[in-house]
Structure 1
Amino acid sequence: MLKFGISPCPNDIFIFFGIIEKKIKTEGLDFDFVIEDVETLNNLCMEKALDISKISAHAFYYLQNDYIMLSSGGALSEYGPVVITKNLEKLKNLSNIKIALPGRLTTASALMWFYWQKNFPNKKYIVEFMPFYKIIDKIIKEEADIGVVIHEGRFIYSLKGLELVEDLGKFWIQETSLPIPLGLIISQKSLNIKKALEKIIQESLNYAYSHFDEAMKFIKKYSQELDEDVIKSHIQCYVNKFTFDMGEKGIQAIDELIKRIERHAIWS
């Protein structure tokens, strides 16, 4: 029985629906799914507590000695995290800025660091790391000046009366001309089941697309946001050709992220 970590976000549940619900053949492999926030999964992999897992691409920098990256099941997109605030005008006058981030090892955290260093190198900051679903409330209550939102957050922040500071996905694409390497699937090198896992994930994806309504009902058991349009938008943004196979472009994007992480002490 292999411990397999995924997040409760719509794109992950959609991708792995066919496996979780035993709708497809799994090459004789059995999985025990651990469904947790991606930063929790990052940290579990740091402890080698999971055999296979979705992780943030940022976290792979620290995990590449023990885990291998799969070409299927990841999240590479043209849509990335967004930086939000309650009041843009007030933000301009602050010398100390409180930043809410969805976990130290998330790709959102790395992208925000790159953006901050380029645009506000002389500003002081106070960083607080927290689960992604707490950030919007933190900004509404003005317990943080800016926050980086991921997953469903990018689709609903404006409905809560919050304002956009920067789209970190657009920032990354302008800097690199590469897709945004948000997350990927890894497995422990010692397992030697990469090809089998990639095939299973692709078959699970095909099952979800051909049983879309069934998959949608299943997703709602886990999603933070139950509005069907938000869930569909999430899937359309983060499940794409790179999810089936990240290809050369996807590998280039992850390599570029890792090179940039090597050059920076992120939020030190």
Structure 2
Amino acid sequence: MEQQLTIGYSPCPNDTYIFYALVHGKVRVPGITFRERLEDVETLNQLALTGELDLTKISYHALGHLRERYALLRSGGALGRGCGPLLVARPGTELEHVRSGTVAIPGKLTTAWLLLRLYDPALTNVAVMTFDRIMQAVADGAVTAGLIIHESRFTYPLYKLEKLLDLGEWWERYSGLPIPLGGILGLRSLGSDILLMVEEGIRESIRYARANEAEVLSYCRRHSQEMDETVMQKHIDLYVNDLSQDLGNEGTAAVRRLFAEAEKRGIFPTSGMPLLAGE
């Protein structure tokens, strides 16, 4: 009898691209079927805190609070260079204005917020909202600046906003490592054998997407109907890369460094649990 696992991921094109084949049975993990749940990343972060999902995409910030219950898979994540969160504001805004104002952020467990805290702990006055509302809130003057993620990095000029800070560039200079944004977790209680099979299934799902892009992109399009086609393709090209296939030594080092920086500042607790599935 097959075991059904719940898997959470976002409707963002990189996630739907990666998981299409896995959840539609185009690639098989022996003895396992999947039931998907699509939510924005901060909702997924919160669901993971309760252990509601067997497998889920999360922000690496959230994983800092989840290591006792979940292990990190080496595939399916979003890491890279030139893909970090941006701090944007209306023209004429300076960074010192932001320190005395309010910053809209996409969630207190997002890696974007963690990176901003690492960059400048003085930026503490924040307003949490879903990522797709942030640019309009900045443009309307409801907040001083906005911390934007996902496809917003391609579209903020349409709102007549300017970039104040690229937190990805800062992290790359500071650490010399890729930017670890989001990863895939599995419940430790499932056991290493199942987690490692799922890890390989995700790799096969990405390979299927590369070989059958027209089919897969129609699924991505259904979940990003308001997104321009060019923006959708840019999103996939940026966030689905070699590190999505496998963290490798460099990706793993980036995650460990991010956690070390956060632990050093007391942002989240240390953990004696192994980071990766099968370790």
- Contact 1:68/1:187 (8 A) holds in 2: yes
Distance 2:267 2:134 in 1: 20
Deviations 1:16-45 (A, max 9, x none): 011222212222211111100111111101
Distance 1:114 1:21, change over 3 A: same
Distance 1:95 1:127, change over 3 A: closer
Structure 2: which amino acid aligns with 1:262? E
- Contact 2:61/2:114 (8 A) holds in 1: yes
Deviations 1:212-267 (A, max 9, x none): 11111110111264211101111111100000000111111111111111122559
Which residue does the alignment assign to 1:139? 138
Distance 1:100 1:176, change over 3 A: same
Distance 2:136 2:219 in 1: 26
Structure 1: which amino acid aligns with 2:231? V
Distance 1:265 1:102 in 2: 21
Alpha-carbon RMSD: 1.7
Aligned match for 2:75, one of 72, 77, 83: 72
- Contact 2:102/2:125 (8 A) holds in 1: yes
| 1:104 and 2:108 correspond | yes
Distance 1:94 1:139, change over 3 A: closer
Any residues of structure 2 matched to 1:204-219 within 5 Å, and which? 204-219=205-220
Which residue does the alignment assign to 1:51? 54
Distance 1:129 1:93 in 2: 19
Distance 1:209 1:96, change over 3 A: same
After TM superposition, the runs of 4+ consecutive aligned structure 1 residues lying more than 6 A away are none
TM-score, with length taken from structure 2: 0.90
- Contact 1:4/1:33 (8 A) holds in 2: yes
| 1:42 and 2:45 correspond | yes
Shift of 1:88: 3.0
Shift of 1:140: 1.2
- Contact 2:98/2:145 (8 A) holds in 1: no
- Contact 2:61/2:111 (8 A) holds in 1: yes
Which residue does the alignment assign to 2:256? 255
Moved more, 33-42 or 125-134: 125-134
Distance 1:164 1:153 in 2: 12
Which residue does the alignment assign to 2:201? 200
Distance 1:133 1:226 in 2: 11
Structure 1: which amino acid aligns with 2:207? N
Which secondary structure does the structure 1 equivalent of 2:32 belong to? coil
Moved more, 38-47 or 124-133: 124-133
Which residue does the alignment assign to 1:174? 173
TM-score, with length taken from structure 1: 0.93
Which secondary structure does the structure 2 equivalent of 1:76 belong to? strand
Which secondary structure does the structure 2 equivalent of 1:97 belong to? coil
Listed as ranges, the gaps of 5+ residues in structure 1 are: none
Distance 1:244 1:224, change over 3 A: same
- Contact 1:84/1:149 (8 A) holds in 2: yes
Which residue does the alignment assign to 1:235? 236
Which residue does the alignment assign to 2:272? none
Which residue does the alignment assign to 2:185? 186
| 1:150 and 2:149 correspond | yes
Distance 1:95 1:16 in 2: 39
- Contact 2:14/2:236 (8 A) holds in 1: yes
Structure 1: which amino acid aligns with 2:88? I
Structure 1 vs Structure 2: percent identity of aligned residues?
39
Moved more, 186-195 or 256-265: 256-265
Shift of 1:95: 6.2
Which residue does the alignment assign to 1:126? 125
- Contact 1:91/1:145 (8 A) holds in 2: no
